[in-house]
Amino acid sequence: MKLMEGSEAIAEASIAAGCRFFAGYPMTPFTELLEHFAKRLPEEHGVCINAESELEAVGMAWGALATGARAATGSTGQGLSLMQESFSEITLAELPLVIFNMARGQQDYFQSTRGGGHGDYRHIVLAPMDIGEAVELTQLAFHLADKWRTPVLVYGDYLLAHVQEAVDITPVAFPDLPPKEWALDGTKTGTGASRIVSPLGFDKAGRPSEGIENHLRAIVEKQERIAAEEVRVESGFTDDAETVIVAFGPPGKFVKYVVQQLRAEGEKIGYVRPITLWPFPTDAVAEASEDTARVGVFEICAGQMIDDVRLSVLGRAPVTFIGGISTDGSGFGVGPLLDVELIRERILALHHDEPMPALPHNERQF
Amino acid sequence: MTSVEMRQVGHKLPELLLTQEHHMCPGCGEPLALRGYLEAISELGLSDRTIGVAGIGCYTSFSMSMDIDLVQALHGRAPSVATGVKRMRPDSIVFTIQGDGDMVNEGLQEVLHTAARGENVTCILLNNGVFGETGGHMTATSVIGQRTKNSLDGRDAAYHGYPILIGDLIAQLQGAAYVARGSVHNAGAVARTKRMFKRAFQAQERGEGFTFVEVLTMCPTGWFIPTLDGPEYMNDTLGEVHIMGELKVDGVVRSTEELHEENVRKAAEMEHALARGGIDDHHD
Amino acid sequence: MSANGTVTIDVEVCKGCELCIDACPPRVLTMSTAVNHLGYRYPELAPGCTGCQACQLICPDFVFEVFRAPRQAAGAPA
Residue A223 belongs to some domain of the structure: no
Q: Give the nearest chain C residue to B186 (CA atoms).
A: C58
DSSP type of residue A14: H
Tens of pLDDT, residue by residue over C20-33, are 999 999 999 999 99
Domain end among A167, A186, A206: A167
Q: What is the per-residue pLDDT for A364?
A: 72
Domain match, A237 and A162 both: no
Both A282 and A142 in one domain: the answer is no
| Pairing outcome for strands B69-72 and A233-236 | unpaired
For residue A215, is it within any domain?
Answer: no
Burial of B248 (0-12, 13-18, 19+ CB in 10 A): buried
Per-chain mean pLDDT for chain B = 95
Which pLDDT band, with edges at 50, 70 and 90, does A201 fall under?
A: confident
Mind giving me the DSSP string for A135-179? HHHHHHHHHHHHHHTS-EEEEEEHHHHH-EEEE--PPPP------
pLDDT per position as a tens digit, A141-168 = 999 999 999 999 999 999 999 999 999 9
Question: What is the 3-state composition of chain B as percent helix, strand, coil, each rounded to the nearest 5?
Answer: 40, 20, 40
In a domain, B242, yes or no: yes
Q: How far apart are CA A362 and CA A246, in angstroms?
A: 24
Task: Show which subunits contact A, needing at least 3 CB pairs below 8 angstroms.
Answer: B
Q: What is the mean pLDDT of chain A?
A: 96
3-state secondary structure of A218: helix
DSSP secondary structure letters along chain C = ----EEEEE-GGG-----HHHHH-TT--EEE-SS--TTS---EEEPS------HHHHH-TT--EEEEE--TTTTT---
Q: Do chains A and B touch (3 or more CB pairs under 8 A)?
A: yes
Domain contains A190: no
- As a whole number, mean pLDDT of residues B3-25 equals 91
CA B248 and chain centroid, separation: 15
| Distance between CA atoms of residues B126 and B216, nearest Å | 6
For residue A182, what pLDDT is reported? 96
Residue A201 placed within a domain: no
Work out the percent of chain A whose per-residue pLDDT is above 70.
99
What per-residue confidence (pLDDT) applies to C1? 59
Q: Residue A264: is it exposed, middle or buried by C-beta count within 10 angstroms (0-12/13-18/19+)?
A: exposed
The reply to whether B130 falls in a domain is: yes
Residue numbers in B near C3 (CB within 8 A): none
The alpha carbon of residue C37 is apart from the nearest alpha carbon of chain B, in Å, by 14
pLDDT at B3: 57
Residue-wise pLDDT tens digits, B183-200: 999 999 999 999 999 999
In a domain? residue A219: no
Give dist(CA A118, CA A109) in Å, integer: 16
Is there a contact between C15 and B27 if contact means CB atoms under 8 Å apart? Answer: yes
Residue C76 has pLDDT above 60, yes or no: no
Q: Which of A69, A85, A185 sits opposite B69 (nearest CB)?
A: A185
What is the enclosing helix (H) or strand (E) of B30? helix B30-43
Query: Do A148 and A248 belong to one domain?
Result: no
A180 φ, ψ (degrees, to nearest 5)? -90, 85
Asked whether residue B54 is domain-assigned, the answer is: yes
> Which residue, among B33, B92, B87, B41, has the nearest Cα to B67 in the 3D structure?
B41
For residue B271, list chain C residues with Cβ-Cβ distance below 8 A. Answer: 25
Contact (Cβ atoms closer than 8 angstroms) between residue A306 and residue A318: no
Cβ-contact B110, B80 below 8 angstroms: yes
Same domain, residue pair A116 and A263: no
Number of residues that this document lists for chain B:
284
The residue from A167, A198, A215 where one domain ends is A167
Check whether residue A136 and residue A282 sit in a common domain. Answer: no
Query: By C-alpha distance, which of A250, A80, A281 is closest to A161?
Result: A250
Q: How confident is the model at residue B258 (pLDDT cuts 50, 70, 90)?
A: very high
Decide if pLDDT at B225 tops 70: yes
Instruction: Give one DSSP letter per residue of B139-171, joined into a string.
Output: -TTPPTT--BTTBTT---HHHH-----HHHHHH
Is B56 part of a structural domain of the chain?
Answer: yes
* Domain assignment of residue A197, yes or no: no
Within a domain: residue A163? yes
Task: Tell me the average pLDDT across B9-38.
Answer: 96
Q: Please enumerate in sequence order all residues whose Cβ is within 8 A of that of A26, keeping only pairs 6 or more positions apart, or say none.
A: A34, A50
- Give the CATH number of the domain where residue A133 resides: 3.40.50.970
**Interface test with chain B among C9, C35, C52, C72, by most B beta carbons within 10 Å:** C52
C67 → closest Cβ in B9, B35, B227:
B9
A204 CB neighbours in chain B (<8 A) are 18, 64-65, 67
Please count the residue pairs, one from chain B and one from chain C, whose beta carbons lie less than 8 angstroms apart: 128
Residue B13 inside a domain? The answer is no
Nearest-Cα distance to chain C for B33, in Å, is 9
Closest CA to C66 of A72, B45, B75, B281: B281
Examine the domain organization and report whether A162 and A254 are in the same domain.
Answer: no
Whether residue B31 is preceded by a cis peptide bond, meaning omega within 30 degrees of 0, is no
Q: Where are the beta strands (DSSP E) in chain B?
A: 7-9, 50-54, 69-72, 93-99, 122-127, 130-131, 137-138, 176-183, 210-216, 245-249, 252-253
For chain C, which domains are there?
Answer: 5-68 (3.30.70.20)
| Measured distance CA(A111)–CA(A328) in Å, rounded | 22
| pLDDT range class, residue B284, cuts 50, 70, 90 | very low
CATH code (residue A257): 3.40.50.920
Q: Do C53 and B279 touch (CB under 8 A)?
A: yes
- The least confident of A67-71, A347-351, C71-75 is C71-75
Is the per-residue pLDDT at A121 higher than 90? no
| CATH number of the domain residue B141 falls in | 3.40.50.970
Residue C74 pLDDT grade (very low, low, confident, very high; cuts 50, 70, 90): very low
Burial grade of B176 (CB within 10 A; 0-12, 13-18, 19 or more) = buried
Paired strand residues for B69: B51
What amino acid occupies position A273? R
Please name the residue of chain B whose CA is at the shortest distance from the CA of residue A52.
Answer: B113
Residue A149 burial by Cβ neighbours in a 10 Å radius (0-12, 13-18, 19+): middle
Work out the average pLDDT over A173-197: 96
Domain of A276 in residue numbering reads as 233-351
User: Does A306 fall in a domain?
Assistant: yes
In angstroms and rounded to an integer, the radius of gyration of the C-alpha atoms of chain A is 21
A296-334 per-position pLDDT tens digit:
999 999 999 999 999 999 999 999 999 999 999 888 889
Looking at the structure, tell me whether residues A9 and A142 fall in a common domain: yes
Tens of pLDDT, residues C39-73? 999 999 999 999 999 999 999 999 999 999 986 54
pLDDT at A120: 86
Range of the domain at B79: 30-276
Please answer yes or no on whether A189 and B67 come within 8 Å at the CB atom: yes
Length of chain A: 366
Q: How many domains does chain A have?
A: 2
Cβ atoms B103, B138 nearer than 8 A:
no
Q: Which chains touch C (3 or more CB pairs under 8 A)?
A: B
A204 at the B interface (CB within 8 A)?
yes
Nearest Cα residue in chain B from A183: B69
Number of domains in chain B: 1
Q: Which segments of chain A does DSSP mark as H helices, in order?
A: 6-16, 31-43, 54-66, 77-92, 109-113, 131-148, 158-162, 211-229, 249-264, 282-289, 305-313, 340-351
Residues A20 and A161 in one domain: yes
B67, A188 in Cβ contact below 8 A? no
Q: At what angle do helices B187-205 and B30-43 cross, to 10 degrees?
A: 40
For chain A, positions 80-99, list CB contacts with chain B under 8 A. Answer: 85-86, 89, 93
